[in-house]
Chain A
């Protein structure tokens, strides 16, 4: 089946991945190489970067320029924000969250990682596992990215040495035993600059038996990312047509955050605790026989119950937690405010919004060594640590480990409306 036929196209699934690495690791070059070698670049884009490369006096066409978006970045040669890239092969569509790797951009890395299924972590073959390798791996694991690819780059600069590669694999494995959540780690020796093992297997590394990077991205199994057991439906919007044709219609619109719903299913509404059954499930005009995460649907119920945005429809056999005292790993995004004890923030969690007060900073994590730092009450931009919060109204939640949607929240500074923190609920 050809990749352009609609049937073939509709058969493709979606892999979201993130790339982390510092400027010198060749991350932008790697992404440029993936796009270029998989024929996902256009002639006018290549012409534009050829012109820019020439102006800059680069020796070769600088594929990294394909991914450097904003003026300031091109001038300084750095990536300062999360940029999203898209490409496809006949097997899969890919969304890349391209994030900078310096420690001062930890928040960007966390942002990029929050929606990813897989992370590519670049390691310079000459330098091996360094501090930032650990930092990137820790963030990937913290955000519950199950698949890691350790791309050992610049193999051309170590003469494609198997020994150099093996040494890096060994030292990484030793460190990785400390990571939670990660399901699999794949090591691939590459040269982004020369194209070795990026799209095609390289002749330079006959000792390497594994797949090329692209082949791995196309085939890694990602069917187990959603929680299809515990039914969760955060109500986003109440649909009331107020028309003659749909006079009594009252629908609850939202995106299923876990589990499966069918007409006739017994459900419970939280926090009220009322129970009823699902009457019908709509996707646009179409009625569905079942719906599962992450589908956006509209539910109607057998009984008229008072339900509003922020409520959650669940099943009784697997209820979420309901409570006001939350412990979470929090990553901090603000230079201006800190989560000091008794400081107040707005917490946004699923479709719910309430206030929260910081109770206690339990510990911070040194993201370079993964050691816990206790008795340090400062908490600044890019800090990550375990924080206790008390909310003014109960949250209906799961742990982040069980459910990425119902286990995550953001903190907003009520004075500036800025997003100042992101949290992953531990309990």
Chain B
């Protein structure tokens, strides 16, 4: 009997596919959030496997900050085509233009917080009753308490004190009109699991994840790539350094790390040796110790 055992990655895959199918079955109009980052890529790939040979029964939703790395959009469109998925785009720029949100100003302004409003607007516009995210519990301490099926009230808010208990693999997706859910198929994955899975399944990634020589400046303790949105300020020196990105966020604040990892095996080695969590170089989490919890309560993903 002992031959019938799964390694941990197979167990995580099986669990994630189970969650995706439950979401498809329990909700009327679910969607998957797709940022172009590795976690959402893994989630979309799992969705493809879960429903093969049928198409993924829900669209991929991209909340476009307008502050993208150019390559992310090219990658997104190619990905959507390859997986025969449907794409829905919500635009932060439109939210700003329509006066739904006010752009942050100041030196470290970013559009990460603004995404919440655009996301909630997009959910409302398309009447999605559930949105799947690539959030992982190991990323951040508020996420450690997130459910697979996470209930949001009328205002899209998360209420950490009032979550539904989740037992075994039984998910309760029942809700009243106007409420919706977030679901997190890869809740139990770690950063290392995601990388090993990307490798094992030979999944393509944006080249931003791989190290090459990039023009960067140092700002706020991290390296920012010089591009349309990031220009050197007075006193900042442009350097050419071998760098890569560990997350795909707002291009104006997402820092690159010095790295020689130009292929996936080297990244895996780097992740194994890493002494800083991957969010360590995102300026928005450093604002206060509870910044993620505060943003999540408002409906951030």
Contact = CB atoms under 8 A, between A and B. Distances in A.
A9 interface: yes
Given A81-B163, A239-B54, A408 B168 contact: yes
A273 interface: no
Contacts of B18: 236, 255, 296
Contacts of B15: 294, 296
A132 interface: no
B154 to A, nearest CB: 13
Contact of B144 (A83, A114, A295): A83
B237 interface: no
Interface stretch (A122-130, A243-251, A317-325): A243-251
B105 interface: no
Interface in A62-82: 68-72, 80-82
B86 interface: no
Contacts of A233: none
Interface in B1-42: 1-2, 4-15, 17-18, 21-22, 24-25
Interface string B169-186: 110101110000000000
A81 B160 CA distance: 9
B10 A114 contact: no
Contacts of B137: 84, 86
B226 interface: no
A43 B188 contact: no
Interface in A239-271: 239-243, 245-246, 249, 251, 253-255, 260
B117 to A, nearest CB: 23
A4 B272 contact: yes
B274 to A, nearest CB: 7
Interface residues of B, number: 68
Contacts of B2: 223-224
A12 B172 contact: no
Interface stretch (A151-159, A280-288, A358-366): A280-288
Contacts of B25: 236-237, 309, 351
A111 B167 contact: yes
A71 B292 CA distance: 11
Contacts of B54: 239-243, 246, 249
Given A69-B142, A236-B22, A417-B176, A110 B167 contact: yes
Nearest to B146: A84
Interface stretch (A44-52, A133-141, A160-168, A198-206): A44-52
B187 interface: yes
A69 B174 contact: no
Given A88-B190, A243-B53, A296 B14 contact: yes
B145 interface: yes
Contacts, number: 192
B14 A294 contact: yes
Nearest to A224: B1
Given A88-B190, A224-B1, A70 B160 contact: yes
B200 interface: yes
A93 B144 contact: no
A42 B276 contact: yes
B178 to A, nearest CB: 13
B174 A346 contact: yes
B141 interface: yes
Contacts of B113: none
Contacts of A246: 53-54
A410 interface: yes
Contacts of A404: 168
A107 interface: yes
Interface in A22-68: 42-45, 48, 52, 68
B268 interface: yes
25 contacts: A6-B265, A12-B7, A13-B8, A42-B277, A45-B277, A82-B165, A83-B141, A83-B145, A93-B190, A108-B165, A223-B1, A223-B5, A226-B4, A239-B52, A240-B54, A253-B21, A285-B53, A294-B14, A294-B15, A295-B14, A296-B21, A348-B170, A410-B167, A412-B174, A419-B167
Interface of A: 3-4, 6, 9-14, 42-45, 48, 52, 68-72, 80-86, 88, 92-93, 95, 107-108, 110-111, 114-115, 223-224, 226, 228, 236-237, 239-243, 245-246, 249, 251, 253-255, 260, 282-285, 292-296, 298, 309, 333, 346, 348-349, 351, 404-405, 408-410, 412, 417-419, 422
Closest 7 CB pairs of A and B: A284-B49, A14-B8, A296-B17, A417-B174, A241-B54, A114-B167, A69-B141
Interface of B: 1-2, 4-15, 17-18, 21-22, 24-25, 48-55, 137-138, 141-142, 144-145, 160-161, 163-170, 172, 174-176, 187-188, 190, 192-193, 196, 199-200, 265, 268-269, 272, 274-277, 280, 289-290, 293
